[in-house]
Amino acid sequence: MTMNRHIRAALIAPVFALAMAAIAEAGEAAPLASWNDGDTKQAILDFVASATDEGDPNYVVPADRIAVFDNDGTLWTEHPMYTQLAFALDRVKALAPDHPEWKTTEPFKSALAGDMKGLAASGEKGVAQLVMATHTGMSTADFEVIVADWFKTAKHPRFDRPYTELAYQPMLEVLDYFRDNGFQTYIVSGGGIEFMRVITEEVYGIPPQQVVGSSVKTKFEIIDGKPQLTREAKLAFDDDKDGKPVGINAMIGKRPVAAFGNSDGDRQMLEWTAAGPAATLMMLVYHDDGTREYAYGPAGGLPDSPFGHMSQSTLDQADASDWTVISMKNDWSTIFPETTK
């Protein structure tokens, strides 16, 4: 009888161990679960493995593990227009009763009429006018409240979901994977820094102090006996193109070892990262999935776009420089997180 118990225990123990191992493995989700297996996913896994292996020649000490990410078109959708532009257009409508002159003055006339062609005709100068008129003249604290209130109700016109639910699930996994391996993750975007900071921690797990972006000038004032910073209608810093390496140097203070972008405006950031002494990872999100999101370039013969413009020369540079191009169509099994509804 005793022998039978011993035999039974000997037989059960391996089975139990295997079952427990399976449970433990199931409890740990595989990294980058929304990425299809292939060279692109493997490039991320290999880079992180090398950077965190002390015995690897490409090991990066934790203090230098800095990864930077563009926002619009890299971390969340930027079509049919930048999210911040959608906010500005809603602000124009909200402020219009106090500005009757806008009914006959461009670009406000087109904005109020919903005439996107007319608005596009005003170019970057027109968009800048809209932003300055709707983002300034208030305290930084008041602006934060205005932005937060807008995000509570604003929805994407195509997907009918809050903008905060339209971050790319595969990129959220990259952010988590990098942080789980000792990387600091920063946003470096041409978008407004104080606009983004309102939601970056909630959406991406990136705190406000790790957001680099464009900014307007602010002025210290005493209003009703209380100190405040007032937002002025003057550009202080343009964190786009050449401005991105400048912003990284000024606000982060170290050169990144990994950089993710999606447009011509990100080239200099990737170039700056690639020129560092350590092993590096440069990646470009290529919007080639018009079914699940949007398809635009004009790189690769896709339709041109004023939002997230990626020229053929940028795609060619990626190929020549050994940057990895992420195909949304082929590399991502999922685009957006599952709806919480």
Pairing relationship of beta strands 226-237 and 211-223 according to DSSP bridges: antiparallel
Q: Provide the percentage of residues in the chain whose pLDDT is more than 70.
A: 91
Higher pLDDT, 254 or 124: 254
CATH 3.40.50.1000 fits 31-89+117-331, yes or no: yes
**Across residues 68-73, what is the average pLDDT?**
99
The answer, yes or no, to whether residue 3 has pLDDT greater than 60, is no
| pLDDT of residue 27 exceeding 90 | no
Residue 249 corresponds to which tokens in the numbers above?
A: 């140097």
| Cβ neighbours of residue 325 closer than 8 Å, sequence gap 6 or more | 40, 283, 284, 286, 315, 318, 319
CA angle in degrees (0–180, nearest 5) for 131-136-142: 120
What is the mean pLDDT of the segment spanning 187-195? 98
- pLDDT the model gives residue 4: 52
* CA-atom Rg of the chain in angstroms: 24
pTM of the model: 0.91
**pLDDT of res. 121:** 87
pLDDT computed for residue 2 by the predictor: 47
| Domains in the chain: boundaries | 1-30, 31-89+117-331
pLDDT score of 136 more than 60: yes
Model confidence at 301: pLDDT above 90 = yes
pLDDT surpassing 80 at residue 275: yes
Q: Determine the Cα–Cα distance for residues 333 and 12; give it in Å rounded to an integer.
A: 39
Distance CA 189, CA 184 (A): 16
The yes-or-no verdict on residue 153 having pLDDT over 60 is yes
Question: Tokens in use for 199?
Answer: 């939601």
